[in-house]
Amino acid sequence: MKLSVPGRTAAAAAIAVAGLLTTTAISNAAPAPDAAPATKAAAAPDISVENVKGHLADLQSVADANGGNRAHGTAGYKASIDSLKKKLDDAGFTTSVQEFTAGGETGYNLVADWPGGDEGKVVMAGAHLDSVSDGPGINDNGSGSAAILETALTVAREKYKPTKHLRFAWWGAEEIGMVGSSHYVDSLAGADRSKISAYLNFDMLSSPNAGYFVYDDDPTIEKTFKDYYADKKVDTEPDTEGDGRSDHAPFQQAGVPVGGLFSGAETTKSAEQAEKWGGKAGEAFDKCYHSACDGVSNIDGTALDRNSDAVAYAVWGLSS
């Protein structure tokens, strides 16, 4: 990444790269007397964690009504898709359900476009909506699904008019090998693939013994998330576990810039990590990972709150 731009300070150039201010605002040249005042990009809103928890409660109810899980190929998965689709349709999104086959069962991706913005420059946020068959999948990955859902609903509520085009996606069959997201990427025409300027992935955002991991893939996206946490005085670590392990992988393989957040799965929190993040050293970030106990009580509300706000910060910052 180019770090300096002639005629601008390095800091201003970095802000420009992150797309958070217009070029008018960062020019070193004296403004013409009749120049319009510098305009700042719309500030990202605070996402209501109560609303995010409401979406998690809805997903738990879906699991409870369907044998305790929302796995690929089950009625619980399809009911999860239907529930989200209705919320997004009611808010004014253009939704589509993409079908595919995996393991002999029909799978579904839900894609929601926010009308407007430059369709040649698409900012996408995604999360897998399927659980494993052993449990309701509330941290993995109701949390990412609910955080991007509430971000999308906030876009609608605020009547946000981004410069770029916004697209949100919920993937099926991640747990059996990222089948839904791979199908989506494979079915895009090459020209449409190159219109995606960023894919942001959110898989596990509220691990009960939370860590704050930022994917170290595209530098501009990584910096956007790190700036958010620096402002909140929350330390982050690069995600070293995630490469190839979630739905950003097919996008990355297709040459799309990717980034994302992760609060930890089956590995153990170290003493140093417990020192900076709180929680319990020597215990897994999520001891209910892929288990029946991954229900609504298996969340860290603070991590869910911070990470949901970080989703919105990146969606706004990268699309304005």
Q: Is 105 tagged catalytic?
A: no
Dump strand ranges (E) for the chain. 94-102, 105-114, 118-128, 164-171, 196-202, 213-215, 237-239, 258-262
Least distance in Å: CB of 155 to Zn ion?
24
The answer for residues whose C-beta is within 8 angstroms of residue 63's C-beta and 6 or more apart is 69, 70, 76, 131, 135, 136, 137, 295
Residue 261 near residue 307 (C-beta atoms within 8 A): yes
Query: Which member of 203, 222, 227, 247 binds Zn ion (CB under 5 A)?
Result: 203
Q: Is 287 in the site for ligand DTR (CB under 6 A)?
A: no
- Which residue, 100 or 114, is less far from ligand DTR as judged by CB? 100
69 binds Zn ion (CB under 5 A): no
Binding status of residue 294 toward Zn ion by CB under 5 A: no
CA distances from 36 to 22, 26, 69, 157 (A): 12, 13, 55, 28
In the numeric block, which tokens belong to residue 109? 């991706």
User: Is the CB of 154 or the CB of 201 nearer to Zn ion?
Assistant: 201
Instruction: State the binding partner of 265 from ligand DTR, Zn ion, none, CB within 5 to 8 A by kind.
Output: ligand DTR
Among 93, 262, 277, 313, binds ligand DTR (CB under 6 A): 262
Using CB under 5 A, which of 74, 141, 182, 252 touches Zn ion? 141
Residue 147 interacts with ligand DTR (CB under 6 A): yes or no? no
Residues in the interface with ligand DTR (CB under 6 A) total: 13
Q: Does 171 help bind ligand DTR (rule: CB under 6 A)?
A: no
Among 150, 174, 175, 222, the active-site one is 174
Q: Quick one: how far is CA 253 from the chain centroid?
A: 18
| Residue 246 binding ligand DTR, by CB under 6 A | yes
Q: What is the CA radius of gyration of the chain?
A: 19
Smallest separation (angstroms) from ligand DTR to the CB of 98: 20
Q: Which residues contact 90 (CB under 8 A, 6 or more apart)?
A: none
Nearest approach, Cβ of 118 to ligand DTR (angstroms)?
29
**β-pair partners for 232:** none
The structure tokens listed for 291 are 């288990």
37-63 CB burial, b ≥16 within 10 A, e <16: eeeebeebbebbbeebbebbebbbebb
State the binding string over 184-223 for ligand DTR (x if CB under 6 A, else -).
-------------------xx-------------------
**Element spanning 221, H or E:** helix 219-231
Q: Which two tokens stand for residue 243?
A: 């490469």
What's the min distance (Å) between Cβ of 283 and ligand DTR?
16
By CB under 6 A, is residue 170 in contact with ligand DTR? no
Catalytic residues: 174
User: Which residues would be at the binding site for Zn ion (CB under 5 A)?
Assistant: 140-141, 203
- Residues in touch with ligand DTR (CB under 6 A): 140-141, 174-175, 203-204, 239, 241-242, 245-246, 262, 265
